[in-house]
Structure 1
Amino acid sequence: MAFKAQGSSSVKALVVEDDTVQRMVLLTMLLKFECDITLAKNGKEAVDLFFEGKKFDIILCDKDMPIMTGPEAIVKIRAMGESDVKILGMSADDDAMEVFISVGADVFVPKPMKVEYLGSIIKEIINKKKNTMD
């Protein structure tokens, strides 16, 4: 499922989250930053999107999901050569930071995520994109 913000910032975001409420919270946050958003309910759906040739600037990935966990998906996505995409691992688990960083996530964010923190990461991605276009 994809959502396109009006006046898009051109940041393509993938939200990988099995919890409906959490998905909607993240969707609302990302729409504030005018991102184009695709939703996946588990790691397998996320990996399948990359197999289809889809590209994203940022992935917000939950840890524990059915079918395929976030860390399992990150390993597969990185193995496909996707090194430019910024991956945020998200969880309320105590051991989640080590798990996410060890599999290739760029950043770990404890749940619940603060909108200000997400905003600073989105701004960083927008600036990086602008610099590569110049």
Structure 2
Amino acid sequence: MGAPTMIKPKETKMRIIKRESNDTPYPIIALLVDGVTANRRLEHHMLESIGIRTEPANGTAEAIEILSTGVNFDFIFVDFDLPITSGPELMSQMRAMGVRGKMVGMLENFNNHNLQMFHQARADACITKPFTQDRLQEVIGILRRMFGM
């Protein structure tokens, strides 16, 4: 008898369908701040696939630079773990600058302490990472209803 044959699990790939932002009757523009390039690219593609035009930022300095140009965003997604400044600190800075976009905190380590930090920074919502398209649409739907968008 030979060695037992091992069955290799079938690989499944995530399929992201990219749509043009004008495919949705209510075009939404979002700023996406995440210091990890691979995460930021995935999040960017997921947001774009549900009809949200997205401007990615690598960290605090880049986000502040983009916001200082006067561009208005409907949503601002901010990762908790940013290099140099934390996500909640960046949110506080943006609020002090008068930024009015709906801010969504992104958390890998979803615990009460981290959640509380985002709430103190006046986040409008928080979402766990990695997120799914369904979860993103749910959060955006709630915020749109809350703020009449």
Q: Shorter chain as normaliser: what TM range? A: 0.7 to 0.9
Q: Which runs of 5+ in 1 are unaligned?
A: 130-134
Please list the CA deviations of residues 22-81 of structure 1 after superposition, one character each: whole Å capped at 9, or x if unmatched: 112211211121111100011221122111111100111101111332112101111122
* Counterpart residue identity of residue 19, structure 1: V
How many angstroms does 1:99 deviate by?
A: 0.8
State the 4+ residue runs in structure 1 displaced beyond 4 angstroms: 124-127
Asked if 1:63 is matched to 2:77, the reply is no
Q: Secondary structure at the match of 2:130?
A: coil
CA-based RMSD of the aligned residues comes to 2.1
Asked if the contact 1:44–1:73 (Cα under 8 Å) also holds between the matched residues in 2, the reply is no
SS of residue matched to 1:88: strand
Aligned-partner residue type, residue 114 of structure 1: T
Question: Is the CA contact (8 Å cut-off) linking 1:63 and 1:70 kept in structure 2?
Answer: yes
| Preserved CA contact (<8 Å) 1:42 1:66 | yes
Amino-acid identity (%): 29
Partner of 1:21: 38
Q: TM-score normalised to the size of structure 2?
A: 0.74
- Ranked by relative contact order (alpha carbons within 8 Å, sequence separation 6 or more), the top structure is 1
Counterpart CA distance in 2 for 1:29 and 1:109 is 14
Q: CA deviation at 1:126?
A: 5.8
**Residue 122 of structure 1: how far off its partner (Å):** 3.1
Unaligned runs of 5+ in 2: 1-17
Structure whose alpha-carbon radius of gyration is higher: 2
Farther-moved stretch of structure 1 (117-126 vs 97-106):
117-126
